[in-house]
Every structure is written in C-alpha cells, then in structure tokens.
Amino acid sequence: MLTNQYHTVLYTGVTSDLARRLWEHQTHRFAGAFTSRYKTYILVYYKGFHTIEEAIAREKQIKAGSRKKKDELIKGFNPEWKDLTNQFIDT
C-alpha cells in the first residue's frame, strides 16, 4: 500500500516485482495513473504471497475494507507509517 505525504490517500495494488513497480510509481512512469495524480509514493505496507491468485484475493479484501481497517492494517505492520521503499530500491 502506498500513501501520500499527509497519509490522506491510499493506493493498493498487486505486482510480481515490487522494486520495479515502486520505481515506476516514484518516477511517474505512467503520468496519468492514480499514484501520479494523488502523489502516493510512500510505501507503508506490503505482503508477499506464493501465488498471484492469493495476492489478488487479498488485494480485493483490502480494497473492500473501510479506511479505518486499512489504517489499522498499516499501523499493525508499520506503526509510524515510515516509508519502507528503501528496503526494495535505492531512492
């Protein structure tokens, strides 16, 4: 999950290559994309899965949840909402 600098917007997505996808978001590779429009470049939550089907199912669960549930998920994983990007790419 990505957020903006004020934590007012959340983006949830699925990828098979998190480092590449973070780079794409943070370099505005797709200028009209949600992450570019809303400046959601801060990685605050991630989870690995064995299959793409599992990942997509979890993505749908998260997207269907309330903002409160998303905030709780992030706080349980990353209480200070620190940017976790540097674990995957050099910024």
Divide the 91 residues of the chain into consecutive groups of 10 and give the mean pLDDT of each group. Answer: 96 94 87 89 96 97 98 97 86 49
- pTM for the structure as a whole: 0.89
What the block records as the tokens of 88 is 């995957």
Domain limits for position 70: 2-86
Match 């989870």 to its residue by tokens. Answer: 47
Q: Is residue 80 one of the residues assigned to a domain?
A: yes
Q: Does the residue 91 lie in any domain?
A: no
**37 occurs within a structural domain:** yes
pLDDT at 87: 85
Q: What is the pLDDT at residue 90?
A: 62
Which residues is 89 bridged to in the sheet? none
pLDDT for 27? 86
Alpha-carbon span 66 to 70, nearest angstrom: 6
Pair 45, 11: CB distance under 8 Å: no
Q: How many domains does the chain have?
A: 1
Whether 41 is in a domain gets the answer yes
